[in-house]
Structure 1
């Protein structure tokens, strides 16, 4: 596995102090349980756990993955998840996880390197579970027959150390070692002559054992087929073939041709080729033509995934003899990865009184390519108010360079472009949207110079009668308007203390029922104040007008309705129609149409004898008096106002018909 080259860029709110010159180093065994202690990072960095929390300590890894975590409470560096050295570093002799310990207020870096120590967690694996070797019976003792070595993903003493045969075989032994070119070899060594007529086939196992504690092993089954005659094995023109392949080479391209020759003739000289990869690269990206030895790629290669591929090619002649060569495919990087920009910190909004030189953002960029393809430069769109400046390693800061004015520009959209040095270069752009916050320099303004609100008398308690509204040109808390009743000097106390205003929305309420007959209108002053520091405010006058309701019934003044015996109205029998008998007098405490009264004869002893004027309440004779009419008459007059619904009262009165003229008093 190839380790991706990465380039980081960083930014923060404060200028960066110098990072520690020498990294802090630890080691931890692979496959350590999550939560295992790696080291006392706070102590080794000269910090205390409270400082870690106060300065918002965090870890930044170069590959963006969190293999380790920091316990701020104790200051310890712990394993965060499964650590597989082979997955992280393949066969590299040293497996190291680099990262930075980042602290804020002030910003500070510590370089930390953790070496992942190999444990014996992989067994040797042969490329094939079984191998059939065809060996001439004429082979001399000491003849050697190459086998493909077992692969062990571990390193050092945990990789393959020895081979053996089981069960013990009198004809063969194994030989294992390393040649001058550094290539490891495994061979079967013939110990005594073979006799096909005595034994045509034999089988045994070759066991590969690593040097771990306890050791682990892998096995391949060997089947020996003893042949006659064919006494020359194929020979490759090279022991190691090396091919360099661009990672964007198309599928099906020929990358290399291997060649083996055989001095035998006929079938024994016919050679076929077979291909196998190492264990960790079992998903083959290569195929070989069995007749020509041409090796082609079956899928695109990725330099960032693997920089090299090791292949094993076996050449077998028609008689079953074979030879093995090694093919190393070196993948050449092309510029196929654009830079990646990661933001570590970003501050928005900014107060409009922010001083020039303030750090707005901290960011880092990386490019998975290598060489010039992975070299990155950053540029900011043309701006008069912001600029980029390098920080630590490949970190960058976005800073202000001149004074800001929210009233002119409330938002800046800043594009940062990261470009690599490839040909052609690849770029990526990140947009920072910086909002500018306001200072409190505008007082609230009411949407009217004054307000008039109306409420009907006898209203329900806490009735809504209207709302005042004020706007503030500022933003945020500086524009948050609250309402209140302005204090009134004692000498100017209002005629009514029954009005309140909701502080949040300016709704105006009348707190208690009002009586139009006692209070016709009242005025208060409402104050609107913003939430700035110090707050700014404005005042407005609110006039409350009370509207009349029909809540008073007519009151009969005459004749008196106090429950005492009513006096009788005297009517001479000689009176003509239209004669004024009496007049009902009533009043209504309401106003307007609610106080307009009408009079109606509700009931009478002789309904056709009397009439009542609707508007004046005058009771008059409707017709002449006759001898048949009773001397005493009772009338009930209804007095009704013009309200909706109307209210009414009744007046009872008596009339006495005089048969003769009464004597003078």
Structure 2
């Protein structure tokens, strides 16, 4: 069994100078093979083959432990910096076996290349007024070597008679710069020699030609003789603003000067004499359009390039009162709610004046619409300083819906200018009026009654509530609602129309007399409302209406009214009992006196008795009372009949005594149940009024 040859190292690196002589030998450690004899290493080869190296293994045959690489051709690092190949060892076995190692050849640089300039002659131009440090030009040289051998430095060559005091060169970049300004008049050109040297001492030289470019280095001068500012805006065209002269210390074309005014339509320049120029106005001025002009006069010579000088004139325009105040709007519309608080701010009129100072100070005032009128409504006021408009007193939309007045804006110029504007003050409605019911009328003490046949079906129109509202807009939008009813399920009210209709058919169980209250409400915020009371009678036959008017009063009076009536009845009853008792006692006494025959019923005696009785607070005569109840009305009335005179003795009639009316006694029965005294002067204690109880 044979083994494979092997090298001590898998990769071998050799460094060889590029200028090594051909035939130079470089020893390498040979391969090893554990086999002996014919199975040992028999040959070495290079793969791939190259023109620079070959292998010599005879030294190993002679007993040496190494083989040698032989340089066959001169190396050049600038053409090929590295060479790589494989060294192969082959034994003599069958089949033959081989071993391989990599050979890496690094070619070391040798300073065999001198620097080379890109140009033999460099030409540059520099302005004569170029500042110190200005770059004139840059020279560049290259070197194919590397490392120190390729590092190039630059310097001026001292050969020749050239002075280099005005120039300096950067040793690393090759830039040539000025150390001081050049003067074309002193030297038109400068010739320099620049040497480039590498790190190995090799060098090269080039020529540099610097041309100085002549410059127009004297600018024109502008000298002002006179200048006026500000000027009035009503100055006439042709007014002279400034007078100035120009000059240039250069000669020839460089000293020839021309002047121009930049971008101005309102001013111009005109020659005066020699080098003098005038700045004048050419059109009307308007301070409101342009209050200040910045005028730039440029003086330029004919040099190449030309030099210029500029002079700025700041011209202020003084104001003239030539603008009337102008309102921000052609008319104003302001709004105020009715019932406003006094002195409420409703808006502001604003006027501007293009003038300044007193000419632009605006004051405001109220003016009449016509010359013959007095100033506008006394309820309006305007602040003279800022144009605030105030309403001085509360307004009522129902009385006035809009006020139109004029406001004048005047400036403080001389003479003053003014302008007028119309202001429309619109009064905005507030919900301050409750609905007013027109029908049915609520003037009577009892609500009107509507007759409804018992045969009426659902939807039957009973009546229609008509109401109006003095407000406007949504404040006057009315809606109708059923607020209260004897039988709420029987009636329905149209929310928009106010029509009162039957919700269902009438039945026998329904009460003949129905009461309902309709609420009328507007759409304001907050809403206001009114109520209307209605009465409906459910009848089977309209021709048989026997209920008196008094029966149309409500059967369902409020409980509070019933209590008051009961208290009144009790009080009257007590008063009646007391009066009856007093009467009986008095009557008994009178009869006793008559039996004794000592009482004469004369006129004088009767009046005296009445006076005494009135003073005593008792009834002087006997009265009879009847209580009659009316039928069919549902109401009870106590009717008090007028007193019936007692039977007087025949002596009274015989003696021509006074009749009952002559004695001041009430006589006759009142049809209404009220006591109607014949004598208006009767004491109030002798009058009794009838009381009705529902």
Alignment TM-score, normalising by the size of structure 1? 0.39
Which is richer in helix? 2
Bigger relative contact order, structure 1 or 2, given CA contacts below 8 A and separation 6+? 1
Bigger Rg, structure 1 or 2: 2
